[in-house]
Each structure stands twice: as C-alpha cells, then as structure tokens.
Amino acid sequence: LGNDHLMTFKFRRMYAQCLYGNADSSLDDLTAAVATLEDLDQRMTRAYGTVHPQTYHTRGRLKEAREKLARARARHCQYIHNK
C-alpha cells in the first residue's frame, strides 16, 4: 500500500489509539502515541489537505492523546513531588 496510502494512515491512527486508549498507558506509550499522531497529521495534511475527513479525525485523536499525556505528566510530577 505504501506509507502515504489512506489505509496505512488509518492503521497507524488505530495503533496510536491503542497506545493512548488503554487506562494503564505508560508515559512512553502516551509519548509514542502523540509522536505517531503528529507525524500522521503532517503527512495527511500534505497528502489530503486540512479539510479531508480523515485529517480531521486524526487531529481529534491527537488532541485527545495530548490531553491524556498532559494529565499523566502532571500526575507523575505530583507523585515525584510527594515522595
């Protein structure tokens, strides 16, 4: 299919969702999910444009992953601070 095929984009987005969607996701998992989705966003925008529905969905998943990563980092900092 190739790296810029729509199905490849969808599978990579689903992989990232599996990484950040787990309630027990580690900071490494969340960071990897955000990095994957950021790469997908750039590549999908280049290939399909900003108004394509799949680009829109990828940006929504990226927002969710970033928010979850921010919350996990805050909890981690709080944990370190309280030690």
User: Tokens standing for 66?
Assistant: 């970033």
The predicted structure's pLDDT at residue 2? 87
Judge whether residue 78 has pLDDT over 80. no
Give this prediction's pTM: 0.88
The predicted structure's pLDDT at residue 29? 97
Q: How confident is the model at residue 81 (pLDDT cuts 50, 70, 90)?
A: low
Distance, in Å, from the CA atom of 72 to the CA atom of 43, rounded to the nearest integer, reads 27
For 15-30, how does the pLDDT look when each residue is reduced to its tens digit (9 = 90+)?
Answer: 999 999 998 999 999 9
User: Tokens standing for 47?
Assistant: 């290939």
